[in-house]
Amino acid sequence: MKKKLEVALVGCGAVAEYYHLPVLQRMPEYNVKYLVDLSKDRAETIKKRFRMSSKTETNFEKILNDDQLDAVMILTPPTLHKDQIFLAAEAKKAIFCEKPLSMNVNEAVEIVGICKKNDVPILPGYQMRFDGKYSKIKELIDKKMFGELIGGQGLHFANAFEWPSVSKFQIDDKKGGGALFEMMHFVDLSTWYFGKAISMTATISKKKKKSPIDDTANLHITFENDVSVSLSIGWNTITVNSFTVYGTEGYLRALSDSKKMQYHAKNFLAQQPILIKPNHTISPFQDELLHFYRIITENKTPMITQQEIIQNAKIVEIAYSESSKNKTMMLED
């Protein structure tokens, strides 16, 4: 019989309500022992809505004293992540934390360091790695299906202004908001697919005149072996997630609204593409939490490495700090 992990869900906002709690309730691997939020009323509302028996708590440090607690799932605004991760790591609790994991590179380095020091696993919430389309691309890259890699292109658009956020941190740059900062999934996919980033150009702007924060980002990243990736990320009235990978043997396009991916081999010009099924997945969020479960119970290595955590933070931080200077930014030390 599988061990049921006792977990605390920290932050009872929209991400918890619409993504994680519906998944956790159908997973026998977890028991949500605590719902933690600065607002007792908010925690109680979520408990009632999902008909949970969890204890509600406003004091995060208090629940860390529970010896029966195996892990924390941190779903709070990014400005709170570092301090909460430090407390959890020092209490020897396994940590899942939604992205953005940190506010900057220094915080990312410190987070990695405290978890390593306390021998505590940490998994950032990059659930797109568990999407069947995008995990299939990684599998095909590893199998050399594309030949020598040339580059890629990612599009990630969504209307985040309509997201029912409780804290509204997405539209506050002091709390970790902004289109690139909040929607850095495709930065992470690029890191996963192509490895070490060498240099980058970036343009971050406001397309909507009344936007309270940057809503559009365009990045061109050069990775090792001269692999170049273009990313367009934004909060628009359209919603689309797509990623294309190019190589000397062909290219593949994955679209969010298609059940199959299209592979065009180099010798099949003007021909119908080969249709490829994505990897099977229950849901990206559920597969992500299954991976977290196995990290804890089977001592599996987290899919997102410490180096990848730091590189993702570096790409985003440098993109914001240097985007207005119209120059190529070096990413390697």
Q: What is the pLDDT of residue 159?
A: 79
Q: What is the pLDDT of residue 324?
A: 64
Instruction: Kindly list the domain boundaries of the chain, sorted by start residue.
Output: 5-126+285-302, 129-282+312-330
Return the structure tokens found at 10.
């920290």
CATH number at 129-282+312-330: 3.30.360.10
SS3 category, 176: coil
Contact call for residues 63 and 36 (beta carbons, < 8 A):
yes
The residues, any chain, with a CB within 8 Å of residue 322's CB and separated by 6 or more, are 202, 329
The residues, any chain, with a CB within 8 Å of residue 108's CB and separated by 6 or more, are 101, 102, 309, 310, 312, 313, 314
Quote the mean pLDDT of the chain.
Answer: 92
Q: What is the pLDDT of residue 50?
A: 95
Q: What is the pLDDT of residue 258?
A: 78
pLDDT of 1 > 60? The answer is no
Q: What are phi and psi of 41, to 5 degrees?
A: -65, -40
Please provide the size of the chain in residues. 333
- The C-alpha atoms of residue 328 and residue 310 are separated, in whole angstroms, by 20
A 10 A CB-CB count for 324 gives: 11
CATH number at 5-126+285-302: 3.40.50.720
Q: What is the DSSP letter of 277?
A: P
Q: What is the pLDDT of residue 165?
A: 74
pTM as predicted:
0.94
| Residue among 306, 265, 314 at smallest CA distance from 124 | 306
Q: What is the DSSP letter of 273?
A: P
Give the confidence band of 137 by pLDDT, cuts at 50, 70, 90. very high
Q: Which helix (H) or strand (E) holds 56?
A: strand 55-57
- Give the type of residue at 303: M
Torsion angle (degrees, nearest 10) of CA 152, 155, 156, 158: 180
Q: Which tens digits make up the pLDDT trace of 183-207?
A: 899 999 999 999 999 999 999 988 8
Q: Which tens digits make up the pLDDT trace of 19-39?
A: 999 999 999 999 999 999 999
